[in-house]
C-alpha cells in the first residue's frame, strides 16, 4: 500500500505483462503473503462469454463473474486467490465498484461475508498518472481477527501540484497510522460492524460511513436578525429622507 501511495514500482518486485485474467502468471509460485495491484479501471473482459470461467478457482467462490463491461472485481478476485492464509493485498480500485448493484454487489457480499475486506481508503482526485478520478484502495486480508471493516476518507490529504496532486510523506504517515490503529476519527475514519454493512446492501463506499466535514459557514441567526433589523431601519430612514427632499424640490418648483 505504501508503494501505491508513493506511486512507486520497485525493481526488486517481479512484474510481468500480459492478460492477467485469461493468462495468469505466478500460478506455480502462489500463494503470496503480500500483493499490491493497480489494475486497469472498468475495462471490458470476456466474462460470461467464456462458460469455463465460472468454474475457475479464482472466480468460482463468489458464484458470479464480474460484468463483461467492468472487469474490476475480476482483478480483485484474482488477487484474493493468490493470497496466502496470512496474506494481505492493497488494490487500487475505481470507486463505482463499491456501491453499484448486480454482480458487483454479489461479489462484495462474498468478500464481506467471508471477512476478507479489511479497509477501504478514499484518496484525493488526480493523484495517479493517467487519470484524474479519486480512486480508492481496497485492502484485503485473510487473517482478520474481527468481522469489522474500516473506512478511511483521505480525500482531503494532498498538496496541489502542477499536473497531479501530491501525497506528502506526512499525509502517507497519517493514513498508515489511522489504518494501523483502526480508531474512529471524526470526518476521517470509521470502523463499521458486519451487521451494519450487510444491512446497507453491502455498500462499501467510504462516503456512506465516514461523515464529511461541513465546511459551510456557521450562521448566527440572532446576529443575522439584528443586522437585518438595522438594515431595514436604515432603508426606512433613507426613504423618509428621500421623500422629504422630493417634497422640498416640488415645493420650490410650485413657488417658481
**Same-domain check for residues 127 and 253:** no
Per-residue confidence (pLDDT) for residue 15, from 0 to 100: 47
What is the distance, to the nearest Å, from the Cα of residue 121 to the centroid of all Cα atoms in its chain? 6
Per-residue confidence (pLDDT) for residue 47, from 0 to 100: 96
**Same-domain check for residues 55 and 25:** yes
Q: Residue 153 is part of a domain; what is its CATH number?
A: 3.40.50.150
* Pick from 122, 185, 116, 108: nearest CA to 147: 116
pLDDT tens digits, 49-107: 999 999 999 999 999 999 999 999 999 999 999 999 999 999 999 999 999 999 999 99
First-residue to last-residue Cα distance in the chain: 90
pLDDT tens digits, 109-164: 999 999 999 999 999 999 987 788 999 999 999 999 999 999 999 999 999 988 88
Number of domains in the chain: 2
**Buried-exposed string 150-188: b where 16+ CB fall within 10 A, e elsewhere:** bbbbbbebbeeeeebbebeeebbebbeebbeeeeeeeeb
Higher pLDDT, 129 or 44: 44
Per-residue confidence (pLDDT) for residue 137, from 0 to 100: 97
> Which residues share a beta bridge with 122?
136, 153
Residue with cell 424640490: 249
> Which cell is 88 given?
494481505
**Same-domain check for residues 42 and 144:** yes
Helix (H, G, I), strand (E, B) or coil at 59: coil
**Same-domain check for residues 168 and 126:** yes
Per-residue confidence (pLDDT) for residue 4, from 0 to 100: 47
Structural domain harbouring 56: 2-208
**Same-domain check for residues 198 and 94:** yes
**Same-domain check for residues 249 and 178:** no
**Same-domain check for residues 159 and 233:** no
> Which cell is 208 given?
456512506
**Same-domain check for residues 198 and 230:** no
**Same-domain check for residues 56 and 27:** yes
Please determine, for residue 10, whether its predicted confidence score (pLDDT) is greater than 60: no
**Same-domain check for residues 147 and 172:** yes
**Same-domain check for residues 190 and 254:** no
Q: Please, what is the Cα angle at 198 between 97 and 2, to 5 degrees?
A: 50
**Same-domain check for residues 116 and 136:** yes
Mean pLDDT to the nearest integer, 192-218: 91
197 prior amide bond cis, ω within 30? no
Give the separation between CA 45 and CA 67, rounded to whole angstroms.
8
DSSP, residue by residue, 170-226: HHHHHHHHHHHH---BTTTEEEE-HHHHHHTTT---GGGTSPPP--SPPP-HHHHHH
Amino acid at each position: 500500500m505504501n508503494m501505491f501511495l508513493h506511486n512507486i514500482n520497485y525493481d526488486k518486485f517481479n512484474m510481468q505483462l500480459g492478460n492477467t485474467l485469461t493468462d495468469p502468471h505466478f500460478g506455480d509460485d502462489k500463494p503470496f503473503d503480500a500483493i499490491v495491484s493497480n489494475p486497469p479501471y472498468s475495462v471490458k473482459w470476456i466474462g460470461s462469454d467464456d462458460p469455463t470461467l465460472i468454474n475457475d478457482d479464482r472466480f468460482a467462490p463468489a458464484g458470479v463473474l464480474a460484468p463483461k463491461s467492468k472487469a474490476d472485481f475480476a482483478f480483485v478476485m484474482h488477487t484474493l486467490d493468490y493470497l496466502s492464509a496470512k496474506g494481505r493485498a492493497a488494490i487500487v480500485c475505481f470507486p463505482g465498484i463499491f456501491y453499484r448493484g448486480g454482480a458487483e454487489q454479489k461479489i462484495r457480499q462474498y468478500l464481506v461475508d467471508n471477512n476478507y475486506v479489511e479497509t477501504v481508503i478514499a484518496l484525493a482526485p488526480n493523484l495517479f498518472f493517467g487519470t484524474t478520478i479519486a480512486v480508492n484502495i481496497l485492502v484485503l486480508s485473510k487473517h482478520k481477527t474481527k468481522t469489522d471493516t474500516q473506512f478511511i476518507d483521505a480525500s482531503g490529504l494532498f498538496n496541489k501540484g502542477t499536473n497531479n496532486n501530491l501525497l506528502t510523506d506526512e499525509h502517507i504517515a497519517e493514513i498508515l497510522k489511522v489504518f494501523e490503529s483502526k480508531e474512529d476519527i471524526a470526518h476521517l475514519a470509521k470502523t463499521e460492524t458486519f451487521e451494519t454493512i450487510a444491512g446497507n446492501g453491502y455498500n462499501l463506499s467510504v462516503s456512506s460511513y465516514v461523515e464529511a466535514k461541513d465546511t459551510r459557514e456557521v450562521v448566527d441567526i440572532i446576529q443575522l436578525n439584528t443586522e437585518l433589523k438595522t438594515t431595514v431601519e436604515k432603508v426606512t430612514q433613507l426613504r423618509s429622507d428621500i421623500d422629504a427632499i422630493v417634497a422640498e424640490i416640488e415645493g420650490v418648483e410650485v413657488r417658481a
